[in-house]
Amino acid sequence: MSKFSEKTNGLLNFMELKQAKYRFIYGIMAVVLILLSLVCILPILWVFLSGFKTTSEMYSIPPTFLPSSISIEPVKEIFDKVNFFKYFGNTLMEIVGALVFDLIINGLAGYVLSRIRPKGSAVLETLVFGTMLLPSVSMVPLYMTFVNMPITHVNLTGSFMPLWMQAGCNAFTIMLFRNFFNGIPMDYLEAARIDGCGNLGIFFKIILPLSKPIIVVESIFCVINSWKNFMWPYLILGSTPKETISILLYQVSSGGMSLTMPEVMLVVMLSIIPPGIFYAIFSKQIMGGMNMSGIKG
């Protein structure tokens, strides 16, 4: 009960837990949450362990949960067989570029709507917000734009630029930055202008250093979205040397690489490890990140 004595919020607090019926409810809730956790964890464990099984063990009846032996050799072989480092490097390239475009372009747009506010900014803000309400019907015209860019008539397929450009044009992120920048006192900006700092200088020297929480949160969202993104990388980078891990998983699952089932599980396992480590490091920021969008402008 020492831990319960510090419990002052949540569905049940310390005073309620003094009663037997509420302690019973608390125990039931704990059991349900443990069972739900096992439902989420067991498939991941199955994938990890299946990667070390032999083909006969994979198809044995009844199925076995644990492999007969665990060796690092299959992992080394699958790295060479599917050239995993190439796909991983391409994915990192996509993530880094998307992160730069996301923070700079969306951040500048949010800064303009929040602090510069030129004439017509209210209309522009309404239009930006309105794009979030449009149905997803823009994939075909957007793809045609990347195939034949207006004015320049350049074909951007086969490069990371279309993926980076999409990351730098996100209405939700713009409004997220705009809401956060609204909470920065104007006194800092006016003092910088008195010292001769321009709008760009204020953004990079004043706004960004004061916006580390929202930058961290948006960076996490950008990395996660870029890692799991499949459709656009497949359309833009498919059948090129710049394919990402999401395309590799599609090729493996569709039988395009002639891998055995344990090898398929190893590829899936390798693709799970980086985001798993990333989530373990930034779990608190990920869970609390959506609260940033609730800051009043």
* pLDDT tens digits, 184-224: 888 888 888 888 888 888 999 889 888 888 888 888 889 98
Longest dimension (CA), the chain: 77
pLDDT confidence of residue 294:
46
User: Domain locations in the chain?
Assistant: 4-50, 77-294
User: How many other C-beta atoms are found inside a 10 Å radius of the C-beta of residue 250?
Assistant: 15
pLDDT confidence of residue 100:
94
CA 108 to chain centre: 21
Side chain identity, residue 169: C
Closest CA to 269 of 72, 135, 6, 119: 72
Residue with the two structure tokens 């920065």 = 184
Side chain identity, residue 286: I
Write out pLDDT tens, residues 250-282.
988 887 777 888 888 888 888 888 888 887 787
* CATH homologous superfamily for the domain 77-294: MetI-like (1.10.3720.10)
pLDDT confidence of residue 10:
60
Q: Counting every residue, how long is the chain?
A: 297
Average pLDDT per consecutive 10 residues, the chain (297 residues; last block may be shorter): 54 70 81 90 85 81 81 83 90 94 93 88 84 73 88 90 91 89 87 87 89 87 89 90 91 80 86 83 65 46
pLDDT confidence of residue 65:
80
Q: Model's pTM, two decimal places? A: 0.79
Give the separation between CA 140 and CA 146, rounded to whole angstroms: 10
pLDDT confidence of residue 95:
94
pLDDT confidence of residue 8:
53
User: How many other C-beta atoms are found inside a 10 Å radius of the C-beta of residue 102?
Assistant: 26
